[in-house]
Amino acid sequence: MPDTYQRVVALTGAGISTDSGVPDFRSPDGVWARDPGAVRSVTRKAFLTDPTARRRFWDMCADAYDHAPAPNAAHRALVDLEHAGLLRGVVTQNVDGLHQAAGSTPATVLEVHGTVATTRCVCGHRRPTPEVLALVRRAGPSRPEPACRDCGGLLVPDAVFFGDHLDRAVFGHATALARGCDLLLAVGSSLVVEPAAGLCAAAVESGADLVVVNAHPTPYDDLATAVVREPIGTALPRLAADLIAGRGVRPA
């Protein structure tokens, strides 16, 4: 591995936000392991057709907002890399907005799975999700779910659900970043969800080094120049400091 990198791209998954109190999904202690039925609430068909699934989704969102997660040291480490002029972009599978909250320039953050910060209606009207959640709380468990104030239609978060396609323009930009970087940091992602995980292969095929920072093995570990298993909240700040100092990627 070279000692210096000039075009770093980060691919981040749920694991980067667990220190902020946001649970991940696919680890042994993740959301799907603890509550397998919860996956139905983020499946597009169920959300559109099943009021119970929608209510469960909105309850999950309300709980997440009530906990008011804040950025952690790993998010801030990427901000440090950006300020040092080394980070070309953050491609995130997360919908929590914590990269922007940490100080990442919004234009450099590509949310390939969308965001829960805003909610839309099929008529095109959008509103901030906290406004919708305020209606959910006021309505209580037995009253009608919130509806679009313009047409009365169904409100849907601006996040990618199971069964959805990714935004082609956003993912095209993410692919260009992966192919143009000299180091891809895959942080806190199980790397089992395609096509986002395939950015690792795109980067390596274009000549970049790949460093995987994740607590558990991933399908792309064999392609990696280095695999880091230490906690992300300590690993990523250390890696960022080394990159900024020109020490390359050193073993923990």
Cis peptide before 195 (omega within 30 of 0): yes
Question: Two tokens at 99?
Answer: 């990269």
**Residues labelled as active-site residues:** 113
Give the integer Cα–Cα distance in Å for 47 and 49: 6
Q: Which residue has tokens 């064999």? A: 222
Rounded to an integer, what distance in angstroms lies between the CA atom of residue 48 and that of residue 135? 19
22, amino acid identity: V
- Of 205, 196, 238, 250, nearest to 223 by C-alpha is 205
Q: What is the DSSP string of 18-86?
A: GGGT---SSSTTSHHHH-GGGGGGGBHHHHHH-HHHHHHHHHHHHHHHHH-----HHHHHHHHHHHTT-
> How many Å apart are CA 207 and CA 228, to the nearest integer?
20
